[in-house]
């Protein structure tokens, strides 16, 4: 992935990104961070790029033309790149946003200084506004470095252990569970027994419980964005395989249930507000009302995932039918996705990111 940082202080960026994990990734060639000095595009003999604000007030404003020149110089190499302006006026960076940005091939990060940048050049070029928190920094460089670090972790080949890139508890809006290493006892404090038991499912259950508990104690604000995710499948193996893949991209803690089983059809299900129900079905199964007759929502967000099974036509009718059924039963359908038959044409991670972003917007 290529980052282009437009800044008055390239040395600040270089110093940070060439160290540690990002530094190693740059050496390996999986990341490229190019800095562009906005001062090189000054239109004035003294090399200045700032001027007094119209209307008066304290501080200086960065002029439009040098910033435009710097952006244009990068756009020659990466014409389609998004231009992200680091500012406390943007939405605050989240783990899901970092994951979404990591899907770009090129990313331009624009760092402001002084009292800001002339609004007209922002209107002309900027595609995204991004803050790293509700405080004011002296410039955008530390923000750009934070964005590069958080985004890079999602780029394949950056983290030494690929697994850790795949899913962080924060993508589920939960904090991580506590970790321990040797010795078993340190200053009279023992490692919890369950971690020494060798029972993998007990360890997973303990970790999930600790994550929830910790989030409630330390970051209750995150908990309202945490959803327990369930995938309900119907219409055979293709639907359940696709449903499981989609579910794993949405949450680390989800479960799949097959509504091809009579027992579940009969017993039904009462969902809660902070559940997410993913209905992964073939179009044929979607039109069979009785399967989901006893499934009820309580303002529960739902995703319809249509898994095409070749013979069946009328996919959009099936989805519309399912949508109206779910809405009658108390669900809020937040997304309707069609999965092409070919595994190649599928972008399940992309769909999952957009579902997680929609969930964040619900609260
Ligand atoms: N520039 C100044 N303050 C900032 C912040 N909080 N986030 C991103 N860029 C900034």
What pLDDT shows up at residue 160? Answer: 84
Separation between Cα atoms, residue 130 and residue 178, nearest integer Å: 30
- Per residue in 62-108, pLDDT tens? 999 999 999 999 999 999 999 999 999 999 999 999 999 999 999 99
- pLDDT at residue 71, rounded to an integer: 98
pLDDT given for residue 63 in this prediction: 98
Q: Looking at residue 346, what is its pLDDT?
A: 85
What is the pairing mode between strands 128-130 and 82-86?
A: parallel
- 230-265 confidence digits (pLDDT tens): 999 999 898 999 999 999 999 988 999 999 988 999
Mutational pocket test of ligand 1: of 86, 114, 115, 141, the residue with most ligand atoms within 8 Å of the beta carbon: 86
Q: Is the peptide bond before 67 cis (omega within 30 degrees of 0)?
A: no
CB of 68 within 6 A of ligand 1: the answer is no
Is the pTM for the entire model greater than 0.85?
Answer: yes
Domains of the chain from N-terminus onward: 2-162 (3.40.1280.10), 167-224 (1.10.1270.20), 228-362 (3.40.50.360)
Q: Supply the pLDDT for residue 340.
A: 79
88: Cβ below 6 Å to ligand 1? yes
Q: State how far the alpha carbon of 333 is from the alpha carbons of 6, 99, 244, 302, in Å.
A: 41, 23, 19, 5
Q: How far is the CA of 135 from the centre of ligand 1 (A)?
A: 7
How many CA atoms, within 13 angstroms, populate the side-chain half-sphere of residue 41? 19
Cα 5 to ligand 1 centroid, rounded to whole Å:
15
25 Cβ inside 6 Å of ligand 1: no
Query: What is the rounded distance in angstroms from the CA atom of residue 118 to the CA atom of residue 67?
Result: 9
Among 39, 280, 1, CA closest to 165: 1
pLDDT at 158: 95
Q: Are 252 and 171 spatial neighbours (Cβ–Cβ below 8 Å)?
A: yes
User: In a mutational test of the pocket of ligand 1, which residue from 12, 135, 143 has the highest number of ligand atoms less than 8 Å from its CB?
Assistant: 143
State the pLDDT at residue 345.
Answer: 77
Q: Can you list the residues of the chain whose pLDDT is less than 70?
A: 162-166, 310-313
CA 195/CA 21 separation, integer angstroms: 29
1 Cβ below 6 A of ligand 1: no
């Amino acid at each position: 992935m290529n980052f282009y940082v437009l800044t008055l202080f390239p040395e600040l960026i270089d110093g940070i990104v060439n160290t540690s994990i990002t530094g190693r990734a740059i050496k390996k060639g999986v990341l490229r961070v190019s800095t562009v000095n906005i001062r090189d595009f000054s239109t004035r003999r003294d090399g200045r790029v700032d001027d007094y604000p119209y209307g008066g007030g304290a501080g200086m404003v960065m002029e439009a033309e040098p910033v435009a020149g710097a952006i244009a110089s990068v756009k020659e190499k990466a014409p389609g790149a998004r231009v992200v302006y680091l500012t406390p006026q943007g939405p605050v960076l989240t783990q899901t946003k970092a994951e979404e940005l990591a899907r770009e091939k090129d990313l331009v990060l624009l760092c402001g200084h002084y009292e800001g940048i002339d609004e007209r050049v922002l209107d002309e070029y900027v595609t995204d506004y991004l803050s790293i928190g509700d405080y004011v920094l002296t410039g955008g460089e530390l923000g750009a470095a934070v964005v590069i670090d958080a985004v890079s972790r999602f780029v394949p080949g950056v983290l030494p252990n690929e697994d850790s890139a795949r899913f962080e508890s924060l993508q589920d809006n939960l904090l991580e569970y506590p970790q321990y290493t040797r010795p078993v006892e340190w200053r009279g404090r023992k490692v919890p027994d369950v971690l020494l038991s060798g029972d993998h499912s007990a360890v997973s259950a303990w970790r999930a419980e600790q994550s929830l508990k910790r989030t409630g104690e330390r970051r209750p604000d995150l908990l309202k964005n945490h959803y327990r995710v369930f995938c309900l499948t119907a219409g055979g193996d293709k639907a359940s395989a696709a449903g499981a893949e989609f579910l794993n991209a949405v949450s680390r803690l989800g479960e799949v249930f097959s509504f091809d089983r009579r027992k579940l059809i009969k017993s039904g299900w009462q969902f809660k507000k902070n559940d997410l129900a993913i209905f992964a079905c073939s179009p044929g199964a979607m039109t069979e009302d009785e399967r989901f007759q006893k499934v009820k929502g309580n303002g529960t967000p739902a995703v319809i995932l249509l898994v095409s099974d070749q013979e069946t036509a009328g996919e959009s009718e099936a989805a519309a039918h399912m949508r109206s059924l779910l809405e009658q039963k108390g669900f809020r359908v937040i997304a309707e996705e069609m999965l092409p038959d070919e595994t190649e044409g599928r972008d399940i991670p992309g769909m999952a990111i957009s579902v997680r972003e929609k969930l964040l917007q619900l609260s």
